[in-house]
Amino acid sequence: MEALLLGVGLLLGAYVLVYYNLVKAPPCGGISNLRGRTAVVTGANSGIGKMTALELARRGARVVLACRSRERGEAAAFDIRQESGNNEVIFMALDLASLASVQAFAAAFLSSEPRLDILIHNAGISSCGRTREAFNLLLRVNHIGPFLLTHLLLPRLKTCAPSRVVVVSSAAHRRGRLDFKRLDRPVVGWRQELRAYADSKLANVLFARELATQLEGTGVTCYAAHPGPVNSELFLRHLPGWLRPLLRPLAWLILRAPRGGAQTPLYCALQEGIEPLSGRYFANCRVEEVPPAARDDRAAQRLWEASRRLAGLGPEEDAEPNEDPQPEDPGVPPSLSTPHPEERTVSEPDLSPQSSPDLSKVIRRIRIKAEPETQVS
């Protein structure tokens, strides 16, 4: 009996150590009053996204839940309004698998919302499920859709600067290896899905890195955020039905609750003083080093160019400075962004590969390449 009690005690002690060192997430601090600011959170009808939106609403922000399912999105908006006491929480339809849906969302948002201070790309998939598309669905939802949405909303982010873009990534990016010759090939089978998921998460990290370089000096900063091991629908959604009852108790014990998973994205969105770390990767509310493949500036530039093509955008030299970029869909209206008196407008930088080098960008690339160990907590 004593041996049994000792064994139970050791197991409990080991679990406590694992929980507080690996599972429990540090709480997010940052700006406490967000009244007058607007945030968009994709995939906010459940899990990490819903908890992120709830915390933003509690701090007084106007929060747009950008979700694929109208029924679930409106239900989540109702829940958040009830729990936060903030009635400025609304649903807007967005399906990241459809470029037309991304364009329609951007058009609707720009025509109805005068501000955008925080854009959080939380939505994502880990498997294609039973869907078979003529393109890489994992890359489309996890990277190309967010890339296009950022591009379309960027002028509004600039007029509301200082503003932030947060891309929810994953530690799986460490297993990613982008093959630009096969970037948009359809994904078939679970082995290809695992590889494509890791590749899409690597794309998230490289996107945040290159976006930070492109936006140097505009007042818009961006960050890649790893939520940690989270017990969410993304973890269980694509498991065989017979396996879910077996893994649910284990997931409850060793994985973070969605509220814990929301802490690092919230930190990147709200923490003051991390602007010099724009483009970096965060985990557990602190900056973390990434492998060489995730800090390859040449690969980041190549991904940027490939993403423009896959998103249906024209060559970069066609973009007009100081104007909202227009998607191919003629139904998208021109920019309606009229800065508030307290806002400052920053001109669009020349993003064309042929443009003369910008000294600030060169310095930025050298500084990021060095990857200092600086941490902000």
Query: What is the rounded CA–CA span in Å between residue 328 and residue 100?
Result: 9
d(CA 116, CA 111): 12
Strand partners, 167: 121, 224
Both tokens assigned to 219: 């007042």
Q: Which of 317, 319, 121, 274 is nearest to 203 (CA)?
A: 121
Contact 52, 44 (CB under 8 A): yes
Beta strands in the chain (DSSP E): 38-42, 62-67, 89-93, 118-121, 163-168, 220-226, 281-283, 286-288
d(CA 307, CA 311): 6
Which of 196, 211, 106 lies closest to 166, judged by CA?
A: 211
Strand blocks (E) in 130-259: 163-168, 220-226
Q: Could you count the other beta carbons within 10 Å of the beta carbon of residue 218? A: 17
C-alpha gyration radius of the chain = 21
Reported residue count of the chain is 377
Query: Which DSSP state fits 143?
Result: I
Does the annotation mark 267 as catalytic? no
- Upstream peptide bond of 162 is cis (omega within 30 degrees of 0): yes
Token pair, residue 106, equals 């951007």
What are the phi and psi torsion angles at 136 (to 5°)?
-80, 100
Catalytic-role residue among 19, 20, 197, 223: 197
Distance CA 254, CA 237 (A): 18
Cα–Cα distance for residue pair 353/101, rounded to 1 Å: 29
Residue 62 pairs with which residues in a beta bridge? Answer: 38
Would you please indicate which residues are annotated as catalytic (active-site) residues? 197
